[in-house]
Each structure stands twice: as C-alpha cells, then as structure tokens.
A = this chain, B = another copy of it.
Amino acid sequence: MKETKQEQEKEISTEDKIKEAARKLFTQKGFDAVRTRDIAEEAGINLALLNYYFRSKQKLFDIIMLENFRKFLQLISGKLLAEGFTRDEKIEKLVELYIDMLIENPDLPLFILNEMRGNPSKLAMEIDSQTGVLRSNFFKEIQGDADGKIAGMEPLNFVANLIGLMVYPFAAKPILQWVTGVNDDEFNRIMQERKKLVPVWIKAIMQSSEGGREAASR
C-alpha cells in the first residue's frame, strides 16, 4: 500500500501544517487581518482542527510570534559576538548573517516592528527570558567608549543605523521596488551586495563621527 510513511512526497503532521500556514499568514498580514478560516484553508484542513491542536487563534499567534522574535534576536544574541573578534569583524559577520536571514524571511522586519509597537514592555520581558539576551549584552560586545558612546555616537544612533541599514530595505521592499523599478531577482542581488557594503558604510559613518575627537586613529 502507499499508506506507509511518505504518502505523496512529504509527511507533515497536521499540527505542523497548521503552524506553517499560520506562520505564513500571520507574518505576512498580522493578527487582525487573518481569519482562522484562512489558516485552515491554507493548511488544507478543517477549521475545527485549529482549535483542537491550539486552543485559540490567540494562542496560535503567540507561538508564531515568539518563534519569529527568537529568529530575529538569536543573531544579535549569538555567541558570534562573544568570540575573540574585533569590532569590525563582529559587524561584518553580524551583517552577513542578518541579511542572509532577511533574504529568507523578508516579511519578518515589518512583523516585528508592528508587534513591538503594541506591547513593547510586555513582550520584551517574555523575549528576554526566552532568549537569554539581556538587552545590554549587545552593547557590551560591541564596545562602548568610556562615556557610553560608540565611536562618538549615541548608542541609539549606532543601533538605529546598523539595524536600519540591514532591515529597512526589506521593510520597505514594495516601496523601493515601485520607486526604482527593480524586480525580485535584482532586489535580492542588491541585498546580497549589501552584505559587503553595509559594513563599509557603517565604518564610514563611524569615522565621520569619530573625526571630531581623535584626528587620526592610524
């Protein structure tokens, strides 16, 4: 019989089918815009099964949300930053890992930005405990100056610039494609190039900010 373990080509449990359908839709459209019926249809199962496996739409969403946050934060909190690399090397590796992840998950940035808008503190604590990232970790690893600044910049500016240069093109992908007429393949090619470019730009920004204090560093 063809009833063994691989019926057609992939054997996915019903629970996972629902979860994957939910991940896709929730990440793309957010909690309110998705109906449980959409998820059931996308998963190819009956509506009642959703409540059988996950107690409610909200609980299913919470699971997806936590996993999405973890995916987004694990790179920042990763051991990478703790190894023996220089600051520039840390930035180079972080950018490469991050942009690769973003090419695979282009909807993640907007999802995160939207979720953080609503419940920053409530979510944040949950995430902190789940991922083990104390929010100061990132800074310790990236080396602040004696006055708490990074290369002469406000920490907020440094983080905003670094994360923004990585994340913003993905959050604004439709706008940028509309403005520039770039198609999906070209977009991904440009993002690949940005893996090398963003670290260069970040260094240029840091040098322009450091300029005022120490005339020559080498």
Contact = CB atoms under 8 A, between A and B. Distances in A.
Interface string A117-130: 10011001000000
A177 B160 CA distance: 10
A121 B178 contact: yes
A105 B113 CA distance: 16
For the complex formed by this chain, how many copies does it contain in all?
Answer: 2
Interface in A170-218: 171-172, 174-182, 187, 190, 193-194, 197, 200-201, 203-205, 207-209
A12 interface: no
A168 B163 contact: yes
A176 B205 contact: no
Interface residues of A, number: 53
A81 interface: no
A110 interface: yes
Nearest to A200: B208
Contacts of A204: 201, 204-205, 207-208
Interface in A34-74: none
A9 B116 CA distance: 37
18 contacts: A28-B117, A30-B32, A110-B114, A113-B175, A116-B172, A116-B174, A116-B175, A120-B177, A135-B178, A135-B181, A154-B193, A156-B180, A156-B190, A157-B190, A157-B193, A161-B201, A164-B164, A201-B204
Given A30-B30, A135-B178, 5 more contacts: A120-B177, A156-B176, A160-B169, A165-B165, A171-B171
Interface of A: 28, 30-33, 110, 112-114, 116-117, 120-121, 124, 135, 138, 154-157, 159-161, 163-165, 167-169, 171-172, 174-182, 187, 190, 193-194, 197, 200-201, 203-205, 207-209
For the complex of A and B, 7 pairs with smallest distance between CB atoms: A164-B168, A32-B32, A120-B174, A204-B208, A204-B204, A160-B169, A32-B33
